Amino acid sequence: MLYTITFNPAIDLVLKVPDFKLGDLNRVKQTDYVAGGKGINMAIILKELGNDVVASGFLGGFSQSFIVDELAKLSVSSHFIEVDGVTRINVKLKTGVETEINGSGPVISTDKQQELNQWLKDSIKPNDVILLAGNVATGMSAENYRQIAKIAQDNGVDFVVDTIGEQLKVCLPYRPLLIKPNKEELEDLLSVTIHSDDELVQHAKELQHKGAQNVIISLGKDGAILVSASGKVLKASSPKGILVNSVGAGDSMVAGFTSALNDGKSEEEAFKQAVACGSATAFSTGIANRVMIDKLLPEVSITPF
């Protein structure tokens, strides 16, 4: 079983307004409501790839039923801890450029944090994988990330972490299976300025020395670099396509890599699937489906760096 944890899920309210005018009345051409949050995005991709997955985290208020129902439509099981307050709504404004306005979400009490931890301890078994992604909710801190990492280590299961800053830093000693910083996040984490791909690799190896097993550095349209647990350094080129949606592409990449390793595939195969999943979401209006992923998979080329 794979478990995704999203501390601060959201409903993404996507508004398409082609001729947006600030300070004026604007009429929306298209409105979409999407269950959002990094772990939720990962759960959708993992299910598309044929995995047994449970999406978890915290939900509250009128918006929680929408998220649970949307996941159920995609055959994604869920177990969210119900909290006081209302799960946040994020506005994604598409006007030719993408503008995001993210809500803050409810305050998560210590009791609810402990309830999630206990449920996870009671649920996980050997060979399971935990995917922990996104930012913490109000009332939480990097310590919550560390607690989940320790639960994984204490129970002998792999965990993947996709977050930034101190939240990522505290997880490294627990040897996460995968982390996926981009260049800017890597610079911020290590307080460096990076000028070349060679320096990216150098600093990715530094994160391995701190505990990370596999490090994927996303390069956007230029592909990605993998510094693998076995010591290989690989570069992937992205398939050609039109960018439709940047939301969830990185989450899809993480899910694709994790799914492949969980299926016993090689690092090269896992990296190839990761880039195909990320690109498929980038070229789709929402999170990618299996058909698009399979179509793009042969177009991803992997070469030694």
Catalytic residues: 251
Which tokens belong to 106?
């409810």
Task: Report the distance separating Cα 33 and Cα 224, nearest Å.
Answer: 30
Pairing verdict, β 214-218 and 178-179: parallel
For residue 23, the SS3 value is coil
Are residues 156 and 126 in contact, defined by beta-carbon separation less than 8 angstroms?
yes
- 42, 46, 67, 145, 269 from 175: Cα distances, Å: 20, 22, 31, 13, 22
Task: Report the distance separating Cα 205 and Cα 218, nearest Å.
Answer: 15
For residue 89, the SS3 value is strand
Closest CA to 159 of 179, 143, 185: 179
- Amino acid 247 reads V
Residues facing residue 10 across a β-bridge: 36, 88
